[in-house]
Structure 1
Amino acid sequence: MRYIDDDLKDKTILITGGAGFIGSNLAFYFQENHPDAKVVILDSFRNQETLSNGNLKSFGHFKNLIGFLGEVISGDINDKALLQSLEKNYKFDYIFHEAAISDTTAQEQDLMIKTNVNAYADLLNLAQKHGANMIYASSAATYGNAPSPQRVGREAPQNVYGFSKLCMDNLSREYMKKSNISIVGLRYFNVYGPREYFKNSTASMVLQFGHQILCGKNPRLFEDSDKILRDFIYIEDVISANIKAMNPLKSGIFNVGTAKARSFQDIVDILQRELGTNLTCEYIKNPFIGSYQFHTEADIASTTEVLGYVPRFELEDGIKAYVEEIRRVYNEEVKK
């Protein structure tokens, strides 16, 4: 679906983190709906480098971009020489900043702040020099254990990732005061959908439960999973919000969710219905009580008012749209 009628012919769009989950979906949105736009992807791509928790430092994967026809640059947003080269050799009209250390369990505070906050300041300076509108990924992690519905201005981050995203938002507000470009931060809630598989263990529970079920394993949930509620949002709604943020009524920070909290039990029940299975759920003790969000629900009133964003996908709709891709990834990546 095309989310704006603007003609993007001769416009140049930079997508950082473009080989990741959301960035790659953005790239294909433009390729399919605005083929006359020039799309440049910057991504560090994955290697064997890991964080102290054992997870990969970068989740970018070439398979997310198979079929993409635009320009692809391998590089790190912390590389100031690379950013200077981008400033000199391109003239961007829009920057979609999705690159980040996105692992909420990462302990490297120095790397998190350097990558998520300091490099973002450099990209904001690039956007100003080019006159490019900036749309960047913030996060619902800024809210921590704040009560639902989560509203901008009620932040209480519980980890360095959430703190780094709040720092980005605060930095953005300072730039908004003095900048002639629009700057929009999008606080994503629990996103699921195609091209997330290469996030490995940080991929959504929709995908992880789907693959458990396809393996014939009983789905394993925490006890009282029917009472653990999250705002799950399908990737197509996230892309819609990003596109509508290209030319907003005003700059700002906005939630991107469905405004409806659903349970992990709901996910399993819907998946079993769609996959035609009737496996017995197994319930285990939740080891994260005390450091675990039990209810998230985005307040999207300002997102609707300023961006014109209205979510289209209920959880049932999103899983139904996603289930064949879950099967494909299972057959091509998990079973091999």
Structure 2
Amino acid sequence: MIDFNKKTILITGGAGFIGSNLAFWFQENHPDAKVVVFDLFRTGETFSNGNLKSFGHYKNLKGFTGEIIAGDITKKEDLERLRDFKFDYIFHEAAISDTTVYDQKIMIDTNLNAFKDLLKMAKEMGSAMIYASSGATYGNAPAPQTVGREDPANIYGFSKLAMDHLAYDWMKRTGLPIVGLRYFNVYGPREFFKNKTASMVLQFGHQILVGKNPRLFEGSDKILRDFIYIDDVIQANIKACNPKKSGVYNVGTGKARSFQDIVDILQKELGTHLPCEYIPNPYIGQYQFFTQADIEPTREFLGYEPEVTLEEGIRRYIPEIRRLFEEEVRG
């Protein structure tokens, strides 16, 4: 295990879901690390689909005592503020992660071009770069999804794959330590402010708590996803700081579970017996029906081993699902 005390760490997108969990992991486990959070925070600005441009929220950082900088990764003058530091590690989580944004220029500017600016900064500072790629790079590629067999189905997946190509080029040309992590379906605390893009674990949990019958697509027992709890995602990020080899790696459990499983586990944990309602799936043709991460290379080169089953992850998450329901949903 690396001792991060006395190290200087940048987390872009640090007021978002995964970034804020990383910030607290360092604060709790390495209190003498210098952690800098850089985030756009929410502004009320929206995309053409009506969704917010930034899901970063101050409530995700309540209790965080490190340095916080508000800024936009696409603006060079904002990135200049980061040159006051010399980072040992950069965790690049900032991105447009909303797969329903179809503005291709904004997606490429934010996800790809800004990444190149951060790679240049990492090279100048001698920083290790750990960045968020995505399982969306695979699109409808057959399961188990394996690095090197991608087929992105939208501009988001395309932008993340382009990031991976850029990362491989920089690994070869510069020798910079770079690890890309392709997250599959992540769920857990601090995702609430992602609104409609929050996990179905949280969304179903709140449907059940309000007393509504869970609404599932027809055939949901056969729609399978690799759901991964946030604690395992943090584990992968930390192990990526000391890889056997730079590269792009899947971060999932290697086990696919159904949306029906989620509802059944939630009802068991919440002590409810609401009947499910089944509705036609309007997304057939643009919908991944089976995702399962091939994690053998992640095991081999990062020493990563998923520890949290879907049952255990939901059990851990239930107190937070209840708290959010009382404080944020019911208000």
Pick the TM interval, shorter chain: over 0.9
* Preserved CA contact (<8 Å) 1:128 1:180: no
Q: What are the residue-to-residue correspondences of 1:22-61 with 2, within 5 Å?
A: 22-61=18-57
Q: Distance in 2 between matches of 1:331 and 1:24?
A: 22
Return the offset for 1:144.
0.2
Residue 253 of structure 1 is aligned with which of 241, 244, 248?
248
* Preserved CA contact (<8 Å) 2:178 2:246: yes
Q: Distance in 2 between matches of 1:182 and 1:79?
A: 25
Q: Distance in 1 between matches of 2:15 and 2:288?
A: 29
**What is aligned with 1:237?**
232
- 1:122 maps to 2:122: no
**What is aligned with 2:132?**
137
Segments of 5+ residues of structure 2 without an aligned counterpart are none
Query: Structure 1: which 4+ aligned runs deviate by more than 3 Å?
Result: none
- Deviating more after overlay: 7-16 vs 116-125: 7-16
Residue 323 of structure 1 is aligned with which of 315, 318, 322?
318
Q: Distance in 1 between matches of 2:191 and 2:139?
A: 23
Segments of 5+ residues of structure 1 without an aligned counterpart are none
**What is aligned with 2:73?**
77
* Preserved CA contact (<8 Å) 1:131 1:180: no
Q: Distance in 2 between matches of 1:222 and 1:10?
A: 50
**What is aligned with 1:151?**
146
Return the offset for 1:220.
0.3
1:64 maps to a residue whose letter is N
* Preserved CA contact (<8 Å) 2:71 2:79: no
* Preserved CA contact (<8 Å) 2:170 2:176: no
1:34 maps to a residue whose letter is H
SS of 1:312's equivalent in the other structure is coil
Return the offset for 1:114.
0.3
Return the offset for 1:210.
0.1
SS of 1:332's equivalent in the other structure is helix
Return the offset for 1:138.
0.1
**What is aligned with 1:97?**
92
RMSD, aligned α-carbons: 0.6
1:331 maps to a residue whose letter is E
Return the offset for 1:180.
3.4
Return the offset for 1:9.
2.1
Deviations along 1:198-250, one digit per CA (max 9) or x if unpaired, are 00000000000000000000000000100000000000000000000011111
SS of 2:68's equivalent in the other structure is strand
**What is aligned with 1:66?**
62
SS of 1:272's equivalent in the other structure is helix
Q: Distance in 1 between matches of 2:176 and 2:90?
A: 11
With the length of structure 2 as denominator, give the TM-score of the two structures: 0.99
Q: Distance in 1 between matches of 2:322 and 2:73?
A: 34
**What is aligned with 2:257?**
262
Paired-residue identity, %? 71
2:208 maps to a residue whose letter is I
**What is aligned with 1:10?**
6
Return the offset for 1:177.
0.6
**What is aligned with 1:219?**
214
Return the offset for 1:84.
2.7
Q: Distance in 1 between matches of 2:69 and 2:159?
A: 25
* Preserved CA contact (<8 Å) 1:19 1:64: yes
* Preserved CA contact (<8 Å) 1:142 1:163: yes
| Aligned length in residues | 331
**What is aligned with 1:312?**
307
* Preserved CA contact (<8 Å) 1:26 1:239: yes
With the length of structure 1 as denominator, give the TM-score of the two structures: 0.98
- 1:175 maps to 2:179: no
Q: Distance in 2 between matches of 1:311 and 1:8?
A: 22
- 1:277 maps to 2:278: no
